[in-house]
Structure 1
Amino acid sequence: MPNAGTAQSWLPPATRPGRRSQETHDHAGPLWAGGDTSPHMARHYLEEKQAAAFAGRRGCSATWTTHRQGTGRKQSRTKPLCLLSSPPSAQGVIFPAQYTLWAKWAPPLERSRLMNIADAGCTFGTFFALLVAGIICQTLGWPFVSYIFGGVGCVWCLCWFLLVYEDPAHHPWISAREQEYIVSLLAHQGRSHGHALPLVAMAKSLPLWAITIACFCTDWLFYMLLTSMPTFMSNVLHFDLRENGLLSSLPYVGNGLGHILAGLLADFLLARQVLGTAAVRKLFSALGMLLPAIFLVAVPYIGCNSTVVVVLLTLALTIISMTGAGININHIDIAPRYAGFLLGITNTFGIVAGIIAPTAVGLLVSQDLQTGWRNAFFVSAALNLFGLIFYIAFGSGTIQDWAREDTAVQ
């Protein structure tokens, strides 16, 4: 750890001990980072079953319902708060629904790029929405943000219901050749599971625990940076609002591009048989967890070079997207029949980390600015390193015995 003199030198003079701005006391980690935490595990099982039956449409109908909620004219003072908190909760079912679909549509050698391109859409959508919302607010007023985005969501849902089908066998427009190609490659996975789940076997599964712990650790770092970096750049590095806004948007673009690149490269390695499935998942998890941890540890030693600090933090949020070809899609590798339900479990742990991390940063920084940020970076890096080691030791790339169709439910 750096000594006192070194630790102070990495902060600009205005934020060193004795010259703290009142702004630094206002940092309290936002709790909205974990907005979709409502009874995740039990709910995701039910929603995932609906997704299997209706081609993931239950998850997307939540988007439909969400956008319609904001149209009421007569509302009490408490209703707006309820409406603002309900979209994240409703949309929490979308990702398990997507994973159920991917398990039936994505061939093993195309799975990484297909799923990562879809995930990149979330990141690019966030970037685009933040950009357009500001323009809409300035020109039309803030209510039109809800009207326009809600309308677009409803139109998208109509297209989803009309064009998306549960599996290739039920799709009316897919060619017979493509249908046979997909079905033959996924035949070994078995059919969708029934209402019973091998919960005891899941609880004893080290590969599943490896994914869960790694997701918790990497989401801790991700949400910590995502929610705290704008405050850090504004209060500590003293960028003006315009410059801060531009720099805050860069990780979204980098993260989206990183997802696509990771997916393409992972499938390339698998198709050329350079590495096996487990090795590819662990390689990209290592890149997405170890490098950001190194960047965070390096930040307190940089000194007053604000540009280098911003570059390191931006790279950390960009390179963490490499886990998209690692732990994020490993559920389908080890248990394709239960992929949606397993994502609900691991996503619960990740969202919990997203609640705790920014709150912990707020507590650390409120006590001491200099050591607070340093300790926040070090804790995140240490957690990431622990999660990576556990995943490399116990992660797997093969279907588990309890996830096979011919295995008795425990």
Structure 2
Amino acid sequence: MFIHHESKYEIENHEATQPLNEHESSDDENDITPLVNNDDVGGIFKTRYVFGFMGFLGFAVVYAMRVNLSVAIVAMVNQTAISHENVTIEDVCPASSNTSENNTLPENTNGEFIWDETTQGIVLGSFFYGYVITQVPGGRLAEQMGGKLVYGFGVLITAIFTMLTPMAAYFSLPTLVVVRILEGMGEGVTYPAMHAMLAHWIPPLERNKFASVVYAGSNIGTVISLPLAGWLCSLQFMGGWPLAFYIFGILGIIWFIFWMLLVFDTPSAHPRISYKELNYIERSIRLTGVDEDFDGQIGIDSESIPWLEVLSSLPVWAILITQCGQAWAFYTQLTELPTYMNSILHFGIKSNATATALPYFTSWILGICCSIFADWLLARNYISLLNSMKLWNTIASVIPSLGLIGVAYVGCNWIWVMFMLAGVGAFQGAVYSGNQLNHIAISPKYAGTLYGLTNAAGNTCGFLAPYVIGMLINGKETLTRWRLVFYLAAFFCIGGNFFYLLFASATEQSWSKNRRRTLRETF
């Protein structure tokens, strides 16, 4: 638990610039109050800010490459060639119920591929088969060899297979599925690798707002990708929809070049970091016991993982289960909302993509605001770390779930639908102050691996949710069937948070702490 003392704020700047001593310790190892004024450290262009900005752009690019298929598939599929069961007029929305007919009618209903809802669910979910496979290996590789190469090449591989997606789709459906799986394998290492790097780079009291900015790249990538992909799909040049894959793939390759030039695994490995910033980062982390090494440096871990203790740890299961619930709701919205907008609300591909992107924009804004407020509360000792995580995780789970239930109730009223998704659903952004950094609290040594483990479990919903939704819809694009989809997502999300409230912890676990101390005594 983080404990704060007001006297720590008065430490003089010259104390923070003294060299680190190998055996240096704090009177209170749990005190994470900043050692110096953050504005005095590292100049204007702090290296950790450059690292954070590049991480932000990386997530923006990979999410743009992940979600473009959700929009493109509406243009790829020949909707008029797919047989749908007859439904009663009371259970569908009239084509002109939302906005003007010219704006709501789909611009293109005659794509090249005849895929029913179940097949579309398989295509949309195939990415996550690969994404889940590389989560734990990605986190462990980042802990052992550093996150720079793992994160960088993860984005590069994702970009290459994104560019191959149109060719694979034209070749055959199985080939498309394989390419999407390989693309998912590349992207699967990015989150756990970044989590491992954050443990080395970011002082504890900066982590909430820093992580919210870095990981919010996923929201910005989605906000940019969805309307841009919708516009590209409406073009006639090169068939329209393939452009959504070519352009984002090229951006991923360009990003990779700058990442390799500007970012390094740890602060001590950075050739251009200032002495003040290096000392500030290392002392802030070292004095909390978050990341201790025998030579006084923030280094790369190579020890084996106590898997039995990890897998039997209730705090680990608390994070895993709430992430599964949140992921089910998130991927219901991410992969299926464009189809809902098109089939039920009759939004065309361009207006569809813009409306679908709006919830991610509001989530990004609110996520940053919540994280800043969460750090402010912690810095003043108004709330404990554990209660802070539980509070924000509950906000990120319950309020958006109520929004999904609201979507089921408001039916064909597109204004209220967007309020529920973009207004109420914006509170999903609070998750960065919830369970997202809990891994570092319970085991800083294995933060990357733990994040890979829980994120792999959560992202299993990435292929389960589209498949289950395809089975629930089963050719019947009706309000009744879609209400079941939203109710199910809300149930999983709220249920996962309940388990988190019961068993979450913010204390470093014995299987992490005792192991590290034993090793230190050996040396």
TM superposition score normalised by structure 2:
0.67
- Which residue of the partner structure matches residue 58 of structure 1? 150
- Which residue of the partner structure matches residue 94 of structure 1? 190
Residue 119 of structure 1 contacts residue 259 of structure 1 at CA under 8 Å; is this kept in 2? no
Residue 326 of structure 2 contacts residue 397 of structure 2 at CA under 8 Å; is this kept in 1? yes
Measure how far apart 1:139 and its partner are.
Answer: 7.7
- Which residue of the partner structure matches residue 419 of structure 2? 311
CA distance in 1, matches of 2:369, 2:347: 30
Distance 1:278 1:223, change over 3 A: same
Residue pairs, 1:214-225, within 5 angstroms = 214-225=322-333
CA distance in 2, matches of 1:178, 1:251: 36
Residue pairs, 1:1-400, within 5 angstroms = 12=93, 26-28=116-118, 30-31=121-122, 32-33=124-125, 35-38=127-130, 40=132, 43-52=134-143, 53-68=145-160, 70=163, 77=171, 81=176, 82-133=178-229, 138=235, 141=238, 146=245, 148-187=247-286, 188-189=289-290, 190-191=292-293, 192-302=300-410, 305-366=413-474, 369-400=478-509
- Which residue of the partner structure matches residue 20 of structure 1? none
Residue 108 of structure 1 contacts residue 185 of structure 1 at CA under 8 Å; is this kept in 2? yes
Identity, in percent, stands at 30
CA distance in 1, matches of 2:517, 2:444: 14
TM superposition score normalised by structure 1:
0.84
Residue 58 of structure 1 contacts residue 97 of structure 1 at CA under 8 Å; is this kept in 2? yes
When the two chains are superposed, the root-mean-square deviation of aligned CA atoms in Å is 3.2
- Which residue of the partner structure matches residue 517 of structure 2? 406
More helix by share: 1
Measure how far apart 1:146 and its partner are.
Answer: 5.0
SS at match of 1:273: coil
Distance 1:10 1:327, change over 3 A: farther
Residue 113 of structure 1 contacts residue 264 of structure 1 at CA under 8 Å; is this kept in 2? yes
Letter in structure 2 aligned against 1:396: S
CA distance in 2, matches of 1:316, 1:287: 10
Letter in structure 1 aligned against 2:204: P
Segments of 5+ residues of structure 2 without an aligned counterpart are 1-88, 96-108, 110-114, 294-299
Mean Cα displacement is larger for which, 199-208 or 237-246? 237-246
CA distance in 1, matches of 2:92, 2:498: 32
Distance 1:359 1:66, change over 3 A: closer
Distance 1:134 1:170, change over 3 A: same
Distance 1:64 1:229, change over 3 A: closer
Distance 1:86 1:178, change over 3 A: same
Measure how far apart 1:86 and its partner are.
Answer: 2.0
Distance 1:277 1:360, change over 3 A: same
Measure how far apart 1:80 and its partner are.
Answer: 6.2
SS at match of 2:278: helix
CA distance in 2, matches of 1:94, 1:116: 15
Query: What per-residue deviation string (whole Å, max 9, x for no partner) do you get for residues 17-55 of structure 1?
Result: xxxxxx9x95446232461433846x4444334323244
CA distance in 1, matches of 2:330, 2:345: 20
Query: What per-residue deviation string (whole Å, max 9, x for no partner) do you get for residues 125-149 of structure 1?
Result: 2332344445566386366655543
Letter in structure 1 aligned against 2:517: D
Distance 1:285 1:193, change over 3 A: same
CA distance in 2, matches of 1:236, 1:39: 30
SS at match of 1:96: helix
Q: How many residues align?
A: 391
Measure how far apart 1:10 and its partner are.
Answer: 8.3
Q: Which has the higher contact order (CA 8 A, sep 6+)?
A: 1
Query: What per-residue deviation string (whole Å, max 9, x for no partner) do you get for residues 157-192 of structure 1?
Result: 222222212222222222222211111121112344
Residue 233 of structure 1 contacts residue 239 of structure 1 at CA under 8 Å; is this kept in 2? yes
Segments of 5+ residues of structure 1 without an aligned counterpart are 1-7, 15-22
Measure how far apart 1:228 and its partner are.
Answer: 2.1
SS at match of 2:200: helix
Residue 442 of structure 2 contacts residue 505 of structure 2 at CA under 8 Å; is this kept in 1? yes
Residue 56 of structure 1 contacts residue 100 of structure 1 at CA under 8 Å; is this kept in 2? no
Residue 57 of structure 1 contacts residue 97 of structure 1 at CA under 8 Å; is this kept in 2? no
Say which one has the larger Rg: 2
Measure how far apart 1:193 and its partner are.
Answer: 3.5
Distance 1:311 1:9, change over 3 A: farther
Letter in structure 1 aligned against 2:387: A
Distance 1:262 1:37, change over 3 A: farther
Letter in structure 2 aligned against 1:97: A
Query: What per-residue deviation string (whole Å, max 9, x for no partner) do you get for residues 240-292 of structure 1?
Result: 44432321121221222233222222212211222111111111111110011
Mean Cα displacement is larger for which, 127-136 or 175-184? 127-136
